[in-house]
Amino acid sequence: MEVEYALVDELMPSGTRAKTIGLYANGAVVHNIEYDLATTPCENVMDKKLCVFNCGVQALFPDDDLLVQMNVDSYMGIPLWDSKGKPIGLIAIMGNKPIEDIELAKNVLQIVALRTAHEIERQRDDEALAEYYSQLEETVIERTKDLKDANQRLEKANFEIMSINDKLYTMVGITYHDITNQLMVLNGSLALISNRPLDEKVKESISRMDRSVNIISRTLELSKDYARVAVKEPEWQQLTPILEKLNNPRIPIRADVKGLSILADPLLPKVFFNLMDNAEKHGTGVDRITVNHCSEGNVLKIIWEDNGKGISADKKGSIFERNPTDERVHGLYLIRKILNVTGIGMEEDGIYGKGARFTISVPPGAYRSS
């Protein structure tokens, strides 16, 4: 187009300054510059689609010293717009004489402006994306460090808890051993006294003492088991071998749980031992137990059911509770605690007069079948 100068400007964030990203002067590419748009023909371009001053441009913008230094007489400029209609720069050509073919120059500038605007926007998007990824990487590094620190604190807390549990279990074991020894002495003394001639009131007192000693002994056993709950990691356990070990000729078990395993505290066998003990000692008329399973949605139901009298409605709500004033040994309370370690629930939903029925609800991920 036989012009001495051509430039591609990118609008800076302030909107009042521009920087060249391509500057051609007298047949050569030269270093880029920054400049204020005010008092220049470029400022005039930003408010229009295309701006043409074919001669005398210095007189129109007397405060633009660059026009004088470059001896510019003609000027044509077109703004660059992004895809959202926002101005992002401009393209301009300047000459020392009037532009000979204005229509050709307009057409060329419009075509170049379209492609240049697209390229500037793409570069900006690339830079913004790179900045986003850089910030994201910094955030990931920071969060990873935070997570690592949190895991270290968690490991330390778990170690401290395990250490406390070990000490507690050791203390319970020592206490259990010492008290058991004293109970054996007390049982022996009561047996010796019982063999002597005694009046009825004394016999009654000794009988009450004997019952109390038995309750204390069973409570100690319960306490020892309770201290072991959640001490070790849950493990997968097959139900069939556990039930087979409950062999009781007087109360046979008919089970349909072959291949079923559940993820539970290692004390899981205590659950079924206590259920059998409960049926034997408190289940009036029990001579048969069935253990079945079914699914409700994605929850496995294991159903322990006897053919005794069952549990009355007024007692159903309290059988799993621990009452310090009650002389009962709270085996069912322990059962629920053992199962709760891996989110397993338990309830008694039998019909009074038809037998006790304990339903164990195993959540997804805590059971499998082989």
CATH number at residue 353: 3.30.565.10
Return d(Cα 310, Cα 331) in angstroms, integer.
17
User: What is the pLDDT, as a whole number, of residue 325?
Assistant: 47
C-alpha of 58 from chain center: 68
Nearest Cα residue to 99 out of 52, 144, 163, 67: 52
29: left (phi over 0), alpha (psi -120 to 50) or beta: beta
Predicted structure pTM score: 0.51
Q: Is residue 144 part of a domain?
A: no
User: What is the pLDDT, as a whole number, of residue 329?
Assistant: 47
Domain finish residue from 227, 256, 273: 227
For the ranges 106-115, 287-296, 321-330, 339-348, the lowest mean pLDDT is seen at 321-330
User: What is the pLDDT, as a whole number, of residue 203?
Assistant: 83
pLDDT tens digit sequence for 313-351: 888 878 888 654 454 445 788 888 889 989 999 999 999
Residues 95 and 218 in one domain: no
Q: How many domains does the chain have?
A: 3
Residues 219 and 343 in one domain: no
Return d(Cα 242, Cα 265) in angstroms, integer.
13
Return d(Cα 350, Cα 352) in angstroms, integer.
6
Q: How many residues does the chain have?
A: 370
User: What is the pLDDT, as a whole number, of residue 24?
Assistant: 93
pLDDT tens digit sequence for 152-181: 999 998 888 777 777 777 777 777 778 888
pLDDT tens digit sequence for 210-260: 888 887 877 777 677 666 666 788 999 999 999 999 988 889 999 999 999
% of the chain beyond a pLDDT of 90: 55
Indicate whether 134 pLDDT > 80: yes
The more confident residue out of 86 and 48 is 86
Q: Is residue 52 part of a domain?
A: yes
Domain finish residue from 177, 212, 227: 227
Residues 16 and 89 in one domain: yes
Residues 256 and 319 in one domain: yes
Residues 252 and 364 in one domain: yes
User: What is the pLDDT, as a whole number, of residue 46?
Assistant: 75
Q: Which domain holds residue 355?
A: 232-369
Q: Is residue 127 part of a domain?
A: no
Q: What is the DSSP string of 23-75?
A: EEETTEE----EEE-TTSHHHHHTTSS-EEE-S-HHHH-TT-HHHHHTT--EE
Indicate whether 90 pLDDT > 80: yes
Q: What is the mean pLDDT of the chain?
A: 88
User: What is the pLDDT, as a whole number, of residue 196?
Assistant: 82
The more confident residue out of 285 and 48 is 285
Residues 72 and 194 in one domain: no
CATH number at residue 66: 3.30.450.40
Q: Is residue 64 part of a domain?
A: yes
Residues 177 and 96 in one domain: no
Return d(Cα 271, Cα 344) in angstroms, integer.
12
User: What is the pLDDT, as a whole number, of residue 326?
Assistant: 52
Q: Is residue 116 part of a domain?
A: no
